[in-house]
Amino acid sequence: MAETAPHQTGDYHFLLRRLHSLTGIVPIGAFLINHLLTNSTAFLGPEHFDDHVKWLHSLPWLLAIEVCFIFAPLAFHAGYGVVIALQGRSNVNAYPYMDNWRYTLQRVTAWITVVFVIVHLLHFRFAHWFGLPNYKSFHPAFFVNTAAGFTWLLPLWAWMVLYFIGLTAAVYHFCNGLVTFCITWGITVGDQSRRKVLVGATGLAVLLMAWGLLSLWALAQVPGSPPAAAAAAQTALRAVAA
């Protein structure tokens, strides 16, 4: 009898799927919660936002932390997620049940989130690659210069629409993934426990969306108008060029 190659049923695939599931919750999910919580302080005022961001930038070994606990897990989760998405097949038209819709949306939001994360990183973290201000140079006026960043290259409304779509996709993908994580790892056994986790994940999604929308609203309003933000961006550009 011919031996089956270890692909879908092989040990490597099983371990990679488990690692993919785990990295989606820790550390990526934990980072998403912290990131949105930090950004939500923009709604409380520039001083709150600046204090939180300055504290994050003051962490020792920040680059090592970013690489080991953010960029590397994110790259693996996104890369192997693409493999899983390409292998999956949606049957929502044949079986239009809620679980099938959630399965399909999980795949759709995965693609949207990958694109959004790349755009977000290039928009701020690696904007200096394109001649825009280095985010590290925003110190100490992180709030004002972040708001100004939403006038670079595109009009303010376009950034807001893009970030709203990306925020919604990322939050859904994480919170729905939290439900499937609990099923995959045997945490929820039976319909009752599954429903409880689903309710909790829905509540978490509402909270994360509220944090994200509050931060977008605050950054869109301050320093008061798009022209003022554009002026701030030009000042930052001149400072970096000098």
Phi, psi (rounded to 5 degrees) for 101: -65, -40
33 lies in some domain: yes
The pLDDT of residue 11 is: 63
- Domain range for 57: 16-241
1 lies in some domain: no
pLDDT tens digits for range 11-32: 688 899 999 999 999 999 999 9
Contacts for 66-75: CB closer than 8 Å, 24+ residues apart: 69/27, 69/31, 70/27, 70/28, 70/31, 73/23, 73/27, 73/28, 74/28, 74/117
230 lies in some domain: yes
The pLDDT of residue 6 is: 45
Ranges under pLDDT 50 in the chain: 1-9, 92-96, 223-230, 233, 236-237, 240-242
Residue 146's CATH number: 1.20.1300.10
6 lies in some domain: no
Closest by Cα among 126, 156, 120 to 228: 156
Indicate the pTM of the whole model: 0.84
The 10 Å Cβ neighbour count of residue 49 is 25
Q: How many structural domains does the chain have?
A: 1
- For the chain, how long is the longest CA-to-CA vector? 73
101 lies in some domain: yes
32 lies in some domain: yes
The 10 Å Cβ neighbour count of residue 186 is 7
**Rounded Cα–Cα distance for residues 106 and 113 (Å):** 10
128 lies in some domain: yes
The pLDDT of residue 132 is: 83
The pLDDT of residue 161 is: 97
The pLDDT of residue 91 is: 52
End-to-end CA distance of the chain: 72
Angle at alpha carbon of residue 39, lines to 66 and 67, rounded to 5°: 5
